[in-house]
Structure 1
Amino acid sequence: MAVLAKSAMNNQYHDPQAGITLNGGGVRVAQLRISDGENPNNDQLRTIEYIDPVSGKSSGAPISLPLMAFVQPYTGSGTTETLWRNSIVASDEGLSPEIEHIQYNHVRVRINGNGNTLYSYNRPAMYYDGSSAPDWQPTRNFVARSNCSTIGFPVGGNNIFPFSPNKNFSFERGFLLSETVFNQGGQKVLEKKNSYIRSSSPVLQYGLKMEQIGTATYYGKYPILIGQGKQFVRQSVLSYDNSSGVFQDSTAIQYVYGSHFIAYRQR
């Protein structure tokens, strides 16, 4: 099999605060033409969609957004606009410690004349998430004063100066949760569901990030997981009648790991 041609489009993500879909950095594959290298009549056209099947909006979300400024202490006089102009420090480079990738939790591949398959992935601990199971919350940054004088506009919060890292949760992202096959008429004919567990209980340690500007001290205590990992432990396969969609059969495969993390299948 060979890819004869492909097309791409901008990554997109849904902003739940603004209620709109925006372009993100990078591109994603939109369409592929697959050839067997022998008969052009066997070429397959595959169209790839990244839409949440429930909301109808983009299933993309950013791990982080570009963070290009922060607020410094300023206690001068003037209009509110003047105060903000003297408080904001802009940067030519991104200040976020996190990667700015867009990740999708639903991807649908349509094969011309042969139905489609919906792939669903887990995607925890993203930029707009307030928490994610089992133990993730965004790191909160704080600002303190060295005396009782005012410092102006600086405040504490998530994803702000000094931009302390969030808990390292990338090992929890990107696992295939389910694969659902639909026929050309839109009827579900096959569904695979996958389960995962952590391979061990990670050790939790902490780091401290601190910056001093004038009389203001910016700081954040951030968690670090050590020894983290995930294991594939179970797959359930459910089949349905191709015409009526009535459930027909199910099987399950359980994976048991030995001391050297060798998987043994059990049906």
Structure 2
Amino acid sequence: MQTPGTLHVVATPIGNLGDLGARALETLQAVDAICAEDTRHTRQLLAHFGVEKTLIALHQHNEMAQASQLVARLLGGQSLALVSDAGTPLVSDPGFRLVRAAREAGIRVSPVPGACAAIAALSVAGIASDRFAFEGFLPTKGSARRERLTALVAEPRTLIFYEASHRIEETLADLVTVFGPRHAVVGRELTKLFETVLDGDLPSLQARVAADPNQRRGEFVVIVEGAGEDADALLAEGRRVYAKLCEHMKPSQAAKVAAELTGAPRKALYGAEPG
């Protein structure tokens, strides 16, 4: 009976090519083929290290169809590597369907760890890292994005988001609206030539990014401090003040004033049932 091959989940650099580990390189050299999110991008990476391998496109649009064929190759004794464009596969990238199909077929799935933008940013943020929630990319539409953020207002864990350059200003504005002056960090172009890590309260970070076009270029990780143990009490006090102010002014103005007085996020107050 044919011994199945192994599916290696291989992390690749998020910018600095020196971050490709020795075991990752050995694995990429040894496998029969490499499953890549963007074969053109991966081909450039492999060429840098002198690796010539068959590349198989595996992305969100074809993963379901490709998984069964790749599992058949693994069951036939081939070993495959799974990589994404940058960083650790499956972290806001395709691949989990293939991994699940391989595991269900009894195939060994082996991690080859390395760079991950979320963890890299968290390691230098100076924000509590014992408990955190990775939220990936927020919705692209403003209303849906604010709704998602509002649902996270009372989350006590540190929050980690990815964001693209063309949405970073809008996202920071929404974070200010929903979370208020909470402590945060914006990591940009991590491990690359123009790497920057900005920290401060959300309003000051929004202003710094808005004032400097260079801080709106590249790829971003945004880390926001968790609500803390007194989040519920803070929100309750904000809603109490908001309800009282609604007796004398419009709800939008009442939410603004209540947020300024109590420190509760305005977005979480506006529209709350008075009383």
For normalisation by structure 1, the TM-score amounts to 0.22
More helix by proportion, 1 or 2? 2
More strand by proportion, 1 or 2? 1
CA radius of gyration, larger in: 1
For normalisation by structure 2, the TM-score amounts to 0.22
